[in-house]
C-alpha cells in the first residue's frame, strides 16, 4: 500500500506540472490567436507538431507563472518574516516529511496545483485580453473602423476575468500556506506516534528516564 501511495505521489508531481503549467500555457497560446489555434487543432497535426506546441506552451506558462508569483509576493507578502536559516529549516522539514509521509501531503499538493493553475491562468487571461485590446486601440488610432464589437466585449471580459481570478489567488495563497503547515504538523504527529509505538508506548519525555534507569 505504501508503494502505491508513493507511486501516486510521484505521479502527482508530474500531473502538477501538466495541470499547473500546460493548461495556462495552452490557454494563452489559443487566446493570442484563436483562429490559428483552431486551424491547428482541426488540421490533424503530426506528433512532432503537437510536441513542439506543448513545449512552447510549457515555456510560456513558466514566464506567466513567474510574473504572477512575483507580483503576488510583492502585493501579498507572507505575514511571517523569516530569515534564511528559519526558511531553510522549514524547506528541509517539508521535503523530509513529504517524502516520508506522502499520503499526508495529498491535499496540500492538490491545493498547490490548483493555486499554480489559477495564477498562470489568470495572468494568461489578463495578458491575452490586454494584447487584443491594445490591437483594437491601435486600429482605432490609425483610423480603421471596427464593427466586431462582440470580440471587443470578449477581450474585455477576459481582462476582467483574469483580474478577478488573480484577486482570488490572494486568499488562495493564505489557504495554501495553512494547508502546507497543517500537513507538516500532521506528519510530525505521525512520526511521534510511530516513535511511541516503537518504544512501547513511551513518550519522548519518558525515553531519557528509561535509559537512565537501565
With respect to residue 109, please indicate whether it lies within any of the assigned structural domains. Answer: yes
Structural domain count of the chain: 1
With respect to residue 77, please indicate whether it lies within any of the assigned structural domains. Answer: yes
With respect to residue 214, please indicate whether it lies within any of the assigned structural domains. Answer: no
With respect to residue 198, please indicate whether it lies within any of the assigned structural domains. Answer: no
pLDDT grade, residue 104 (50/70/90)?
A: confident
With respect to residue 169, please indicate whether it lies within any of the assigned structural domains. Answer: yes
Distance CA(133)–CA(163), nearest Å, equals 15
With respect to residue 196, please indicate whether it lies within any of the assigned structural domains. Answer: no
With respect to residue 66, please indicate whether it lies within any of the assigned structural domains. Answer: yes
Least confident span in 15-19, 34-38, 201-205: 201-205
Per-residue pLDDT, 3: 61
pTM of the model: 0.76
Span 49-100, pLDDT tens digits: 999 999 999 999 999 999 999 998 888 777 666 667 777 888 888 888 888 8
With respect to residue 168, please indicate whether it lies within any of the assigned structural domains. Answer: yes
Per-residue pLDDT, 113: 85
Structural domain that includes position 34: 2-191
Amino acid at each position: 500500500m505504501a508503494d502505491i501511495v508513493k507511486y501516486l505521489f510521484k505521479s502527482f508531481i508530474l500531473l502538477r506540472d501538466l495541470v499547473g503549467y500546460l493548461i495556462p500555457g495552452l490557454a494563452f497560446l489559443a487566446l493570442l490567436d484563436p483562429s490559428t489555434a483552431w486551424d491547428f487543432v482541426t488540421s490533424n497535426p503530426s506528433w512532432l507538431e503537437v510536441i513542439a506546441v506543448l513545449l512552447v506552451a510549457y515555456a510560456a506558462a513558466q514566464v506567466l507563472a513567474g510574473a504572477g508569483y512575483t507580483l503576488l509576493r510583492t502585493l501579498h507578502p507572507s505575514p511571517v518574516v523569516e530569515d534564511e536559516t528559519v526558511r531553510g529549516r522549514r524547506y528541509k522539514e517539508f521535503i523530509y516529511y513529504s517524502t516520508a509521509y506522502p499520503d499526508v501531503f495529498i491535499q496540500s499538493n492538490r491545493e498547490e496545483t490548483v493555486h499554480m493553475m489559477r495564477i498562470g491562468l489568470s495572468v494568461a487571461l489578463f495578458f491575452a485580453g490586454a494584447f487584443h485590446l491594445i490591437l483594437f486601440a491601435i486600429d482605432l488610432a490609425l483610423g480603421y473602423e471596427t464593427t466586431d464589437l462582440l470580440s471587443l466585449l470578449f477581450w474585455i471580459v477576459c481582462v476582467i476575468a483574469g483580474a478577478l481570478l488573480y484577486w482570488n489567488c490572494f486568499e488562495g495563497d493564505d489557504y495554501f500556506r495553512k494547508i502546507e503547515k497543517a500537513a507538516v504538523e500532521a506528519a510530525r504527529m505521525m512520526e511521534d506516534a510511530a516513535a511511541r509505538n516503537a518504544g512501547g508506548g513511551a513518550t519522548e519525555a519518558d525515553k531519557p528516564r528509561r535509559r537512565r534507569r537501565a
